[in-house]
Structure 1
Amino acid sequence: MRTSYTVTLPEEPPASPFPALAKELRPRSPLSPSLLLSTFVGLLLNKAKNSKSAQGLAGLRNLGNTCFMNSILQCLSNTRELRDYCLQRLYMRDLSHSSNAHTALMEEFAKLIQTIWTSSPNDVVSPSEFKTQIQRYAPRFVGYNQQDAQEFLRFLLDGLHNEVNRVTVRPKSNPENLDHLPDDEKGRQMWRKYLEREDSRIGDLFVGQLKSSLTCTDCGYCSTVFDPFWDLSLPIAKRGYPEVTLMDCMRLFTKEDVLDGDEKPTCCRCRARKRCIKKFSIQRFPKILVLHLKRFSESRIRTSKLTTFVNFPLRDLDLREFASENTNHAVYNLYAVSNHSGTTMGGHYTAYCRSPVTGEWHTFNDSSVTPMSSSQVRTSDAYLLFYELASPPSRM
């Protein structure tokens, strides 16, 4: 069983039984340890490409209530393009051009993914070095308390994005009034301004754009705001209880919401607080869509959990009805689920993942990895759903 993904290089090469030949073959300039390590990892990755047994089926050791972390790491390990980004070491190019002096989180994350995919099935990998780096980036994960998997995912993606951000010098903030533009053009301009500051391979995969519209019920004026999103938090619909569908949750998320009373915003045309109708739609669909089912709710007394079964499709999730403009690029296929079983006081996280190599589903329960049927993927424990776009979106 593997206890660490650190590769230790010997300080001195072993003695050769043929000293004269060894002297003749010895390179004239010594290789640096970093180059040796890079070469060694490259050989392992090439071996993994040609090995039918290397399928990313290594388990992750629980370091003390770290099942939330292990669940998310396995979901990301089976994210096809993110996996390739790490295995092909493309992140090294981005790190070399990054203005961020701190790059250890991306480096340790990539090493961990490489180790998972170069290990034999049923090996167990310790993510201790990665955990050290995520704790430095986000001190809230220091210690051994159980944490929320969605919050961990957000912190992790944010940290990875910051370290490989292609933008070396962010432009000065220059507020620009775009209200005179048609909504679609306004959305494109807001996306362009976002990419001027935040542009990374991580963002290429996970970031979409949400459109929020406010319509005054008095004068009919409609204002729009466009914001980037890394995931969508969906309320769980009560209609059809005890079973609802993912589309029910999406429709509840995007339904018109009346803002009245203390919630009334200020209408730009009326120049007064007015009753308004708020509605969400999706302006840009990301390559990887993470849907967060809001199972946990907090009150003054306690945190409660919804165990409602939400029926979600494994293939052909068609979200075109939620697009703010006509698009054919909104059909997704499921490839991973982060599950939470138990209660808020004593819960446990696992992951169901479909291999990007074999297409087979497996259960990842910390150090244990077992095959499963696709018919077992849908459960009332589903918490985070990872969908991959079936066809590439338009990047304008």
Structure 2
Amino acid sequence: MSFNGCQHLQTYKEATGTTTYRIIYSCFVSCSTADARRRKAELSKCVECKEAKPRLHACLSCIYFGCYDKRHIHAHAQDKKHHIGIDLSYGTIYCFVCEDYVYDSELEEIAKAQRRRATLSLGLKQRFFPWEPTEEELILLRCNPKRRRVTEASHIGLRGLINLGNTCFMNCILQSLAHTPILRDYFMADKHTCQKNDDSQQCLVCEMARLYQEVYSGLRTPYIPYKLLHLVWTNARHLAGYEQQDAHEFLIAALDVLHRHCKEMNGVSDSNPHHCNCIIDRIFTGGLQSDVTCKRCNNVSTTIDPIWDISLDLGPGSIHSSHLIPPAATAAVGDVANSTSFSSAASESTNSPSTGFTNSPGNYEPTSLVECLKRFTKTEHLGNSAKIKCSKCHSYQESTKQLTMKKLPIVACFHLKRFEHSTGYHKKISTFVSFPEELDMTPFMSSSRNHNNGYSSQVIHSTPAPHMSCDNKYSLFAVVNHYGTIESGHYTCYIRSSKEKWFRCEDHLIKRATAGEVLNSEGYLLFYHKQILEYE
């Protein structure tokens, strides 16, 4: 909530004054007479759906009541250009341009006067009012300026999660999502409007909103996410049961379910009906460009696929891949030509190749995240056994293929593929792969592609190129780790609650950690947040 009001409210007050606010507050918020209470009971209904919703708002520019949950008041404000409304339950002012509740000291004084008048008219001796310090109390407060240092002592947002039986994989992903800044802001700002009406108990997005409220409530007792686990089991049945699951698989399945539930609200943009505009895709979706070049005529065939994460190989001779958005989700994003199909039930344990080509020498072992990304975006020869029909020379020819990032997501998730599965052979790769606190994705963008495998000479020699843009820089904010063997193990995660403070989350236990501990950890899932956001 804004404490300084906004320019739209000031413009409204200069044009119309405060009379309308005083009348509506006395008649519908804090009724001082029996007639006012009777009118309130008869008229407090949404003009559109005729329902007396709890979050009913009134327009301060005309006679219109509309419900907030179904956004009827929002539609009226946009259609009539009436920017200021009032919540009839609490008398708070809402600005439809700022999309937030705003505070105004003059209107607050009017509200106080109306509440006192209603109390006296009802003959009540005592009624609850917000505490306001007297002059004597203000003097005492000034003489005793000791305050709790919130930045040092507060544990808000640091709440453990109970393990419900081999659910450490889920707890790590929930902690990572709970500390994703822009996703946290979305849920804490009450942006989600459930379209399931009375069946909100079956909405995973509603349960995620409840998770954010619980995590940031300030309580220190561990939270039990049993309802969320039930909804995950209901919507992703391959994860049901108390067996240990893969954290990466859970992340992709959770994003898929959240995407499907979110897009029911506002998942299609007006400008591009094939592009999903839900909060999940706006945060996590990137564009992976694939350039296939005919070796005979140099014709380049380009496709761009939406992806939620990038999977990077660690073992020698393995096939790398990136997880495309599942088919159910891709329908909302747009048709993807020649894309690899993805089943939300398919986990890392299957390691199904999504590109159909290898790009590593037999003795390759990466040492850093940057090396993995160089390998991921390296030009590859598809070979004689994978000839394609060129659209230009109309014959089957050998070709090369290169992957680059056409569009960067707000949150970039890198999956280090530590579990290798083949026929009769299973192992975990525990190779240490270093990763930075700050990552520049410029050299891996399609715009940076050149004839030197997509890199400038400065990047190959680990020297930053002078033209690198700050717009493509990311900051690390969460790391998920797996300890143990492929048959039995345990997941923990590190999360960053502020710029310099890291914490280690192990189910219900949360402990302080150092940046050194984080960067020296094995690393399985790495979450980076874009430093500079672009607004459409």
* Alignment TM-score, normalising by the size of structure 1: 0.76
- Residue 9 of structure 1 is matched in structure 2 by none
Q: CA deviation at 1:394?
A: 6.7
Q: CA deviation at 1:359?
A: 4.4
2:419 pairs with one of 287, 296, 299 = 296
Tell me, yes or no, if the aligned pair for 2:267 and 2:278 is still in contact at 8 Å. no
2-side partners of 1:102 and 1:126: how far apart?
Answer: 16
The residue identity in structure 1 corresponding to 2:432 is F
- Residue 19 of structure 1 is matched in structure 2 by none
1-side partners of 2:515 and 2:286: how far apart?
Answer: 28
The residue identity in structure 2 corresponding to 1:209 is G
The residue identity in structure 1 corresponding to 2:243 is N
Tell me, yes or no, if the aligned pair for 1:285 and 1:393 is still in contact at 8 Å. no
- Residue 61 of structure 2 is matched in structure 1 by none
2-side partners of 1:351 and 1:378: how far apart?
Answer: 12
The residue identity in structure 2 corresponding to 1:332 is Y
- Residue 246 of structure 1 is matched in structure 2 by 369
- Residue 14 of structure 2 is matched in structure 1 by none
1-side partners of 2:375 and 2:447: how far apart?
Answer: 19
The residue identity in structure 2 corresponding to 1:277 is T
Could you say which structure has the greater relative contact order, defined with CA pairs below 8 angstroms and 6 or more residues apart? 1
Task: Give the 3 Å change call, closer, same or farther, for CA 102–224 of structure 1 in structure 2.
Answer: farther
The residue identity in structure 2 corresponding to 1:143 is G
1:160 pairs with one of 258, 279, 282 = 258
The residue identity in structure 2 corresponding to 1:126 is I
Q: CA deviation at 1:381?
A: 2.5
Please give the secondary structure, in 1, of the residue aligned with 2:447.
coil
Tell me, yes or no, if the aligned pair for 2:268 and 2:277 is still in contact at 8 Å. no
| Higher mean C-alpha deviation, range 268-277 or range 129-138 | 268-277
1:343 aligns with 2:491: no
1:355 pairs with one of 466, 491, 497 = 497
Please give the per-residue CA displacement for 1:175-219, whole angstroms capped at 9, x wherever unaligned: xxxxxxxxxxxxxxxxx75x6342201111111101100001111
1-side partners of 2:290 and 2:226: how far apart?
Answer: 41
Tell me, yes or no, if the aligned pair for 1:56 and 1:117 is still in contact at 8 Å. yes
Q: CA deviation at 1:164?
A: 1.4
The residue identity in structure 1 corresponding to 2:307 is F
Tell me, yes or no, if the aligned pair for 1:54 and 1:118 is still in contact at 8 Å. no
Number of equivalent positions: 334
- Residue 307 of structure 2 is matched in structure 1 by 229
2-side partners of 1:140 and 1:282: how far apart?
Answer: 31
Q: CA deviation at 1:378?
A: 1.9
Please give the secondary structure, in 2, of the residue aligned with 1:313.
coil
Task: Give the 3 Å change call, closer, same or farther, for CA 394–251 of structure 1 in structure 2.
Answer: farther
Unaligned runs of 5+ in 1: 1-23, 40-49, 172-191
- Residue 406 of structure 2 is matched in structure 1 by 283
1:375 aligns with 2:516: yes
Please give the secondary structure, in 2, of the residue aligned with 1:64.
coil
- Residue 318 of structure 1 is matched in structure 2 by 440
Tell me, yes or no, if the aligned pair for 1:255 and 1:279 is still in contact at 8 Å. yes
Structure with bigger strand share is 1
Please give the per-residue CA displacement for 1:148-174, whole angstroms capped at 9, x wherever unaligned: 111111111111111111676979xxx
- Residue 147 of structure 2 is matched in structure 1 by none
| Higher mean C-alpha deviation, range 125-134 or range 101-110 | 101-110
Q: List aligned pairs for 1:10-21, cutoff 5 A.
A: none
The structure having more radius of gyration, on CA atoms, is: 2
- Residue 366 of structure 1 is matched in structure 2 by 507
The residue identity in structure 1 corresponding to 2:528 is Y
- Residue 72 of structure 1 is matched in structure 2 by 173
Tell me, yes or no, if the aligned pair for 2:312 and 2:372 is still in contact at 8 Å. yes
2-side partners of 1:113 and 1:129: how far apart?
Answer: 14
Unaligned runs of 5+ in 2: 1-33, 45-51, 56-68, 70-88, 90-149, 317-360, 449-467
Tell me, yes or no, if the aligned pair for 2:187 and 2:209 is still in contact at 8 Å. yes
Task: Give the 3 Å change call, closer, same or farther, for CA 169–107 of structure 1 in structure 2.
Answer: closer
Please give the secondary structure, in 2, of the residue aligned with 1:225.
strand
- Residue 112 of structure 1 is matched in structure 2 by 211
Please give the per-residue CA displacement for 1:129-161, whole angstroms capped at 9, x wherever unaligned: 000111111001110111111111111111111
Task: Give the 3 Å change call, closer, same or farther, for CA 380–374 of structure 1 in structure 2.
Answer: closer
Please give the secondary structure, in 2, of the residue aligned with 1:161.
helix
- Residue 280 of structure 2 is matched in structure 1 by 202
Q: List aligned pairs for 1:39-188, cutoff 5 A.
A: 53-92=154-193, 95-96=194-195, 104-121=203-220, 123-165=221-263
Please give the per-residue CA displacement for 1:330-385, whole angstroms capped at 9, x wherever unaligned: 111100001111111011111100014x6410000011100111110023531000
The residue identity in structure 1 corresponding to 2:211 is L
| Higher mean C-alpha deviation, range 154-163 or range 326-335 | 326-335
| Higher mean C-alpha deviation, range 274-283 or range 52-61 | 52-61
Tell me, yes or no, if the aligned pair for 2:215 and 2:223 is still in contact at 8 Å. yes
Please give the secondary structure, in 2, of the residue aligned with 1:120.
coil
1-side partners of 2:402 and 2:366: how far apart?
Answer: 25
- Residue 18 of structure 1 is matched in structure 2 by none
The residue identity in structure 1 corresponding to 2:392 is R
Please give the secondary structure, in 2, of the residue aligned with 1:291.
strand
Q: CA deviation at 1:305?
A: 1.2
The residue identity in structure 1 corresponding to 2:293 is T
Task: Give the 3 Å change call, closer, same or farther, for CA 318–296 of structure 1 in structure 2.
Answer: same
